[in-house]
Structure 1
């Protein structure tokens, strides 16, 4: 794991950390929002965004994506932090934006030539995330006396609890993390990181791959139940009622049903169900995170 990376200025209270290396040879930009409170925050929120979500200047220069520039990565990080003022938000930028539009988290899971996600048990997404998170803490907190970085582990330990959020296409990363739970259950870096995680949020997850928008594999679901985290599933008609992707709604229903049958700590929250699915309300699910957190 590398011990340095470059920084870039961005929107007020957000800081771009460029080319952060987690697993050796895998680099992602990380945007920190609320960086000034990184070591006094009660919680750290890790966020994986969806398609089109990029740096604002990239979105504004794109003929289509400019219409959604208000949902750029930094503005979304600030939105999430406004809902949780005692937090620092870690926005993980995809390593590639296919056609400057489609989020490709290639350092977290595989994709075929058409951009369809391919889930495996041992890709290393959990390890990559644990080490990305740790390196950010290590480099940002070299002068902080409250943090502890063990010489025997690549994962730094701080008091803040961790919430992991995936939105839209970003939920494929959450799914990959869950697929790896059994394989990495004895990895010290991973277990140290997972011990800090208290909740996982699927925010209107979906993609165009034709299958596996939600997890229905019984063994993987049992592993999810066994880590004993709060599981939040937020949906809108944009995904689960899409007439061209009916499989998303079926999988989401199975995901919820099977987790509940296993006794998992899961709740589903539906929004805007009395209106037709729209990209506007799809993005607006991002404004509902604090609301459902207070309800569960």
Structure 2
């Protein structure tokens, strides 16, 4: 199946800062965007420039990463790579998605109020698909090829799953979404709202991407932490209440949820930032404890890469090529 690949610049609000989004999307034989089996969204980290290392330069390129991610996905899946809209020097500041952070993008807390990350993801994807569909349609009309509504032939398909990945500083968005999922599921159960059975609502059944914050959260099937790390606490979720809420959510759904922690010695063996490994170990321990009551549907993985090699900035980026997505 053919793919559309390109880079867009998307605001979350009128006049707001622009997110740079690279995408690799499947295209149907009719030359329309096809409904994918999954949307994988990778949030990147801080800017690294002037290293003189070609591999780091290549793996810092969002367009390259979109193609790389697409190649790792099984079946017909779309790949999205999102760079932060704001930077403080080299530091990524995901303030539109994680409001409680300082001026250099370090999280002060993960507050689920208003579901800002889930709403932001839905907004970004909606803007992107709208622009891309217009571009694909124009190109197809120039070639005098018929245009098929991508939703029309896909009514019998299940809604696309959402796979969330955070690389390096991008892990803060994964933490925010984990916190929002836990909170949203808890509120839904208490309010007796039947949103936990079977994924997204019928209204959004045939869309290319999840349309609302609730759709984003209910469609998530995998969380991937990819060599995440911060110069302060907060690289991983260590709040037992959040982890318990995730497990409760899995217990109330018919779907599996995978949480995978990918790491290198660069982060997990850094003697100057021992809290990164401590947080990772605590999160994994809490997940294992809570997973025992989920009937095997909360799937966990800890994947180490380049073990035995001395820590380096190069391996921190090379994990993007080496990572195995469950």
Aligned 8 A contact 1:147 1:158 in 2: no
Structure 1 residue 65 displacement after superposition:
7.7
Equivalent residue for 1:259, pick from 278, 281, 287: 287
Could you tell me how far apart the structure 2 residues matched to 1:40 and 1:29 are?
23
Distance 1:35 1:207 in 2: 34
d(CA) in 2 for partners of 1:115, 1:279: 20
* Structure 1 residue runs of 4 or more that deviate by more than 3 Å after TM superposition: 22-27, 34-38, 62-67, 137-144, 182-188
Using the alignment, how far apart are the partners of 1:79 and 1:113 within structure 2? 31
Q: Relative to structure 1, is the Cα distance of residues 233 and 32 closer, same or farther in structure 2, using a 3 angstrom cutoff?
A: same
Structure 2 gap segments, 5+ residues each? 135-146, 189-194, 196-200, 202-211, 251-256, 292-297
Q: Structure 1 residues 104 and 244, CA, compared in 2 at 3 Å: closer, same or farther? A: same
1:265 alignment partner, SS class: strand
Counterpart of 1:69 (choices 57, 61, 74) is 57
Whole-Å separation in 1 of the counterparts to 2:150 and 2:267: 43
Distance 2:12 2:117 in 1: 13
Confirm or deny: 8 A CA contact 1:206 1:213 kept in the other structure: yes
Equivalent residue number for residue 43 of structure 1: 38
Moved more, 182-191 or 257-266: 182-191
CA-CA distance at 1:190 after TM superposition: 2.4
Offset at 1:21? 2.7
* Match in the other structure for 2:312: 278
Deviation at 1:137, TM superposition (A): 3.2
Aligned partner of 1:201 in structure 2 is 224
> What number of residue pairs does the alignment pair up?
263
**Aligned pair partner of 2:242 in 195, 214, 220:** 220
Q: Residue 94 of structure 1: CA displacement?
A: 0.5
Q: Report the Cα distance in structure 2 between the residues aligned to 1:133 and 1:22, rounded to whole angstroms.
A: 14
| Structure 1 segments unaligned to the other structure (5+ residues) | 1-11, 54-61, 149-156
Contact 1:200/1:232 (<8 A) preserved:
yes
**Does structure 2 conserve the Cα–Cα contact (< 8 Å) formed by 1:23 and 1:127?**
no
Distance 1:107 1:246, change over 3 A: same
| Match among 60, 79, 94 for residue 84 of structure 2 | 94
Cα distance, 1:269–1:22 mapped onto 2, change above 3 Å: farther
Distance change in 2, residues 1:195/1:23 (3 Å): farther
Aligned CA RMSD, in angstroms, stands at 2.9
Q: How far apart in 2 are the matches of 1:75 and 1:166?
A: 16
Change (3 A) 1:52 1:66: farther
Find the counterpart in structure 2 of residue 145 from structure 1.
149
TM-score by length of 2: 0.71
Distance, in Å, in 2 between the alignment partners of 1:35 and 1:283 is 26
How many Å separate the matches in 1 of 2:180 and 2:35? 31
Closer/same/farther in 2, CA of residues 292 and 116 from structure 1, 3 Å limit: closer
What's the secondary structure of 1:225's corresponding residue?
helix
Closer, same or farther in 2 for the Cα pair 1:138/1:292, shift >3 Å? closer
User: Separation in 2 of the partners of 1:147 and 1:107?
Assistant: 30
| TM-score, structure 1 normalization | 0.78
Residues 225 and 265, structure 1, Cα contact 8 Å, conserved in 2? no
Mapped to 2, the partners of 1:163 and 1:52 lie a distance apart of 23
Q: Deviations over 1:242-271 (max 9, x none)?
A: 010000001100000110000132111111
Can you list the C-alpha shifts for 1:226-257, whole angstroms capped at 9, x where unaligned?
34311111111111110100000011000001
8 A Cα contact 1:22 1:135, kept in partner: no
